[in-house]
A and B are shown apart, each in its own frame.
Chain A
Amino acid sequence: MTTRVSRRTLFAFLGPSVMALLLVGIVPLGYAVWKSFYYFNLPKLGQSRFLGLDNYTPVITSSTFWAAMGRTALLFVFSVPVQIALGLTIALALHRPGLTFFKTLTRLALVLPMATTYAVVGLLAQVMLNQKYGVINQMLGWFGVDAINFIGDPLNAFIGVVIWDIWQWTPFVALVLLAGLSTVPTEIEEAALLETKSNWTVLRFVQLPFLIPSLVAVLILRTADTLKLFDMPFTMTRGGPGNATEFIAVLIERIGNRQFDIGLAAAHSIIMLAITIGLARLYINLFYKEMR
């Protein structure tokens, strides 16, 4: 149920929020679009000049941009399926009745990784993955595995980021899928289990259809968050060694903050923003039907 109200009332309620978000969200974007057409480098402001689309051409054609995008995609491809597999296992375990005390405890524990300051997660990775002093290598040693140089070797550093991403976001995936499981009507689930006596059949034919929305939500949000991922790889490796863990957000930060090329960083940002808006539209069209 909704009411029609006067323009003045409407403005009184919505005006402040809209103005605030215009100020902090849209004005900087406008500025970014404007600067993206210029050569605009902080220490060389005297050389600023109009470039038109010339900041965009190197972005599209440069190997650094596509390499960073490729790494971001690879991170997604390696970590998200694992997060879904582990998350589903956890969700199914929590969904079974009984053992209430342990399950409440587990749910509380699951909340911790995703709330943890992302920068601290990166620092923890540094400490725990260290070749000499790291506890992870000590544990690997118990199983006869030689100490791995996680931070110093390009491939291993990438694997380290994947492992840490899995640690932080598997609980999130588990809780989203658990919410999905709770939408399955209990009678149907129990009847199917009595009928087939197979947990697998119940999962495949009864629970999975109800899980599709949660899975889609997980895929879209993980894509958006992987594109945004900055804090954890930045504190863990600074994008290195070389640029082995330079994901797209880390690359843009380097161009803007360490090369001072604001114009080029802006061009990168605008391209990333376009991808982001596409994702957001997809998510909104799928999940906010009641608003349309």
Chain B
Amino acid sequence: MATSHAGRIRWGEVVLLIAICAFCIFPFYWMVTTSLKTQVVALQSPPAWIFTPTLQNYIDVLFEDKVGASLINSLIVAVSTTVLAVTLGCPAAYALARFEFRGKTDLWFWFITNRFVSPVVLAFPVFMIARELGLRDTHIALILMYLTFTLPIVIWICTDQFRSIPYDLDEAALLEGASQWRIFRSICLPLATPGVAVSAILSFIFSWNELLFAYILAPKNAKTAPAMAVTFMEGYSVPYGKIMATSTLIVIPVLIFALLASKHLVRGLTMGAVK
């Protein structure tokens, strides 16, 4: 097909591809430019495309409006839950890929089902339980609750990865008298590094993006950045520049990670059903 067009650029197609890119990217362009506007410029009607940019919004939100603190909360929660999910999930994935046991299918089904459960179903019961245990507004409550989606991601991606490692390696090691733990730690886990890395990146993205649990469980001290961004809308006059500066700060890390794991994002969102 390509050869019939050799030497000629199909301009129609180029235009279509550029249009698709513009469709995806334009909102981000608008977010970043609005974050560089003063409130006066942001409230121009019709909106200004050319203006003198200022970093004042970033300085304001980071140092006056506690967005800096909320970003640190987000980082603590997302990194901790990712580390915890990988530590707990990798051995489980190895077991699902390598061991034969009763109830394996049911266990797998249960792990996968978590992808479908809405956080709103769990949020209020957890709110009540956290209140009883004095865990309200703590990082721990969020870190634990984020396991409901990070742990299944790690398990399904890593199970896939462990299955792709040739079984001969295990057999050879078993003959040498190695324990299952030893095989897992020294042979399979190092070979599964790419899958583990992808699952860690996806866990980080999903935890960083989470709003509902954060909004309900951590109203003040442990407040994460998305929940912080929401509170800006609760004023009388909406500070557009500040909101977009906060949004930009929230979105930059996830976009970087998403680009790094771009080939695997869809696999993560479909739980490996689409490769």
Residues of A at under 8 Å CB distance from B?
A: 1-5, 9-10, 12-14, 16-18, 20-21, 23-25, 27-29, 31-32, 35, 90, 93, 96-99, 102-103, 105-121, 123-124, 126-128, 132-135, 138, 141, 167, 171-172, 175-176, 179-180, 190, 193, 214, 217, 221, 224, 227-228, 230-231, 234-235, 249, 252-253, 256-257, 262, 265-266, 269-270, 272-273, 276-277, 279-281, 283-284, 287-288, 291-292
Contacts and interface: CB of A to CB of B under 8 A. Distances in A.
Contacts, number: 313
A120 B274 contact: no
Contacts of B2: 97-98
Contact of A97 (B1, B100, B227): B1
Interface of B: 1-2, 5, 9-10, 13-14, 16-18, 20-21, 23-25, 27-28, 30-31, 34, 42-47, 84, 88-89, 91-92, 94-96, 98-101, 104-105, 107-129, 144-145, 147-148, 151-152, 155, 167, 170, 174, 180-181, 184, 205, 208-209, 211-212, 216, 226-227, 229-230, 233, 238, 240, 243-244, 247, 250-251, 254-255, 257-259, 262, 265-266, 269-270, 273-275
Nearest to A193: B1
13 contacts: A10-B95, A17-B89, A20-B147, A109-B20, A114-B265, A115-B265, A119-B229, A120-B247, A126-B243, A127-B30, A176-B270, A256-B123, A277-B113
Given A127-B244, A133-B47, 9 more contacts: A2-B98, A16-B91, A21-B147, A28-B125, A98-B10, A253-B212, A256-B120, A273-B118, A279-B116
Contacts of A279: 116
Contact of A116 (B42, B96, B254): B254
Given A99-B10, A269-B121, A17 B92 contact: yes
A10 B99 contact: yes
Contacts of B28: 112, 116
A134 B211 contact: no
Contact of B108 (A21, A167, A291): A291
Q: Give chain B's interface secondary structure class.
A: helix
B181 A115 contact: no
B266 A106 contact: no
Given A127-B30, A249-B118, A288-B273, A117 B251 contact: yes
A118 B238 CA distance: 19
Nearest to B226: A119
A103 B17 contact: yes
Contacts of B47: 133-135, 138
Contacts of B44: 133
Nearest to B44: A133
Nearest to A7: B101
Q: Give chain A's interface secondary structure class.
A: helix
B114 A17 contact: no
A109 B262 CA distance: 10
A81 to B, nearest CB: 18
Contacts of B46: 138, 141
B140 to A, nearest CB: 11
A266 B123 CA distance: 10
B128 A31 contact: yes
Interface centre among B110, B258, B266 (most CB of A within 10 A): B266
A217 B273 contact: yes
A283 B110 CA distance: 12
B273 A107 contact: no
B108 A288 contact: yes
B226 A93 contact: no
A268 to B, nearest CB: 9
